[in-house]
């Protein structure tokens, strides 16, 4: 048995991929007989336990204009929690305040693994246009991150890119500090057969629609979805775009949809995973508009649901789709419109089969096994 702790920031009730990854990996670790501790920010200090998985929330303030995300400032409290748990491995999903905890763990000779869930250059580009010396500061931040941990786990080549730029080599054999381990997908929950299930949530949706599942925040570029909607309308395409997600831009997007009478349906944050799986299986195509996604779990879940994915060519999702299950395009609404029209006219059963086959090459079981193999090497070393 190994005691594995995972600490994270930028976490909230409506967190997407990060929360999913932590939950699924913890579940796989527990199934294999390991003890897991999750430490996350919350509105107050809280404790919960489910079998071999313990979750502790540390009281943390909300980040302004983030849509509810919180960041732990009291890193001493996190260190005290870890001292009590005595982890044999520390997983870190943060490169801000919790790097202090990672550096403490290294001093205590606890193997420390950082998950590259986002790229600093992408976040700075989205929010820090007026910041001087952006490239220099980004590089220094990445150097500091790499020196704070023993290993860096990159889920795609895109996620690894800014560390490769530092001269690091990405490896699948655990021979370097930068390790390639893809995330997975729940192939039972997300399945093409969900399109036949019944759901009364959110009323009735049209038989044919496009789906985007994204946080409505600047770095995700959700306003591009509205550009696509305008382009579809100009061509007389009446297929609506359904957006599942919320965030700081939600009210602005709602105002634009209403004022321009765009054929877009805002669902807000969808907490019901079964209903989300139904949406994904029914959609004609999934629109992954985010330019800095380092993996794209929602897109992979759509593939597992039998739905093709159109994504930004610069994002990591372009590494995940195949030629028969999706398309990677630049930020050009006309090109996305044309690809959508192509998907609408393809044989849906054939596309569904190719999308599902691609998703079946990913699993949480494989991700957990690769990580546990790495941790065993760390403990032996």
149, 200: one domain: no
> Is the pTM for the entire model greater than 0.85?
yes
How far apart, in Å, are the Cα atoms of 138 and each of 59, 116, 144, 332? 29, 14, 10, 27
213, 172: one domain: no
Predicted local confidence at residue 380, as pLDDT:
40
Domain count, the chain: 2
Predicted local confidence at residue 136, as pLDDT:
86
326, 206: one domain: yes
148, 200: one domain: no
Predicted local confidence at residue 196, as pLDDT:
79
Contacts of 196 (CB under 8 A, 6+ apart): none
In b/e form, how buried is each residue of 253-274, taking b as 16+ CB within 10 angstroms? beebbeeeebbbbbbebbeeee
219, 237: one domain: yes
144, 258: one domain: no
Domain membership of residue 203 as a residue range = 192-359
Q: Can you give the CATH number for the domain in which 26 is found?
A: 3.40.50.2000
196, 311: one domain: yes
200, 256: one domain: yes
155, 254: one domain: no
Predicted local confidence at residue 259, as pLDDT:
97
For 320-376, give the DSSP string: H--TTTEEEE-S-HHHHHHHHHHHHHS-HHHHHHHHHHHHTT--HHHHHHHHHHHHH
Integer Cα distance of 257 and 215 in angstroms: 17
The tens place of each residue's pLDDT in the chain, 381 residues long, gives: 899 999 999 876 666 778 889 999 999 999 999 999 999 999 999 999 999 999 999 999 988 876 678 899 999 999 999 999 999 999 999 999 999 999 999 999 999 999 998 887 777 766 666 677 778 888 999 999 999 999 999 999 999 999 999 999 888 666 689 999 999 999 999 999 988 777 665 567 788 999 999 999 988 999 999 999 999 999 999 999 999 999 899 999 999 999 999 999 999 999 888 999 999 999 999 999 999 888 889 999 999 999 999 999 999 999 999 989 999 999 999 999 999 999 999 899 999 999 999 999 999 999 999 999 988 865 544
């Amino acid at each position: 048995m190994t005691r594995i702790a995972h600490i994270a920031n930028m976490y909230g009730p409506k967190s997407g991929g990060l929360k999913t990854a932590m939950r699924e990996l913890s579940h796989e670790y527990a199934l294999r007989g390991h003890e897991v501790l999750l430490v996350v920010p919350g509105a107050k200090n809280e404790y919960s336990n489910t079998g071999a998985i313990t979750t502790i929330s540390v009281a943390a303030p909300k980040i302004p204009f983030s849509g509810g995300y919180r960041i732990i400032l009291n890193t001493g409290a996190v260190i005290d929690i870890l001292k009590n748990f005595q982890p044999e491995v520390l997983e870190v999903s943060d490169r801000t305040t919790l790097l202090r905890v990672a550096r403490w763990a290294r001093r205590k000779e606890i193997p420390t693994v950082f998950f590259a869930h986002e790229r600093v250059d992408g976040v700075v580009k989205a929010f820090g246009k007026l910041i001087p010396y952006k490239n220099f500061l980004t590089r220094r931040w990445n150097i500091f991150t790499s020196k704070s941990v023993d290993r860096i786990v990159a889920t795609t080549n895109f996620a690894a890119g800014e560390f490769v730029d530092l001269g690091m080599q990405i490896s699948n054999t655990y021979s370097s500090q930068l390790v390639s381990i893809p995330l997975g997908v729940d192939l039972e929950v997300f399945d093409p057969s969900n399109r036949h299930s019944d759901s009364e949530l959110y009323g009735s949706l049209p038989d044919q629609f496009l789906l985007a599942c994204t946080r409505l925040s600047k770095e995700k570029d959700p306003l591009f979805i509205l550009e696509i909607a305008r382009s579809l309308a100009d061509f007389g395409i009446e297929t609506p775009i359904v957006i599942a997600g919320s965030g700081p831009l939600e009210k602005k997007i709602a105002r634009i949809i209403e004022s321009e009478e765009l054929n877009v349906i805002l669902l807000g944050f969808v907490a019901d995973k079964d209903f989300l799986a139904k949406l994904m299986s029914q959609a004609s195509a999934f629109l992954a508009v985010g330019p800095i996604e380092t993996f794209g779990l929602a897109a992979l879940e759509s593939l597992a649901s039998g739905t093709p994915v159109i994504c930004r060519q610069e994002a990591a999702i372009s590494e995940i789709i195949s030629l028969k299950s999706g398309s990677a395009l630049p930020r050009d609404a006309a090109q996305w419109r044309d690809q959508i029209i192509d998907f609408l006219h393809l044989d849906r059963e054939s596309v569904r089969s190719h999308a599902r086959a691609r998703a079946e090459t990913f699993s949480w079981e494989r991700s957990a096994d690769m990580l546990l193999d790495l941790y065993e090497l760390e403990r032996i070393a």
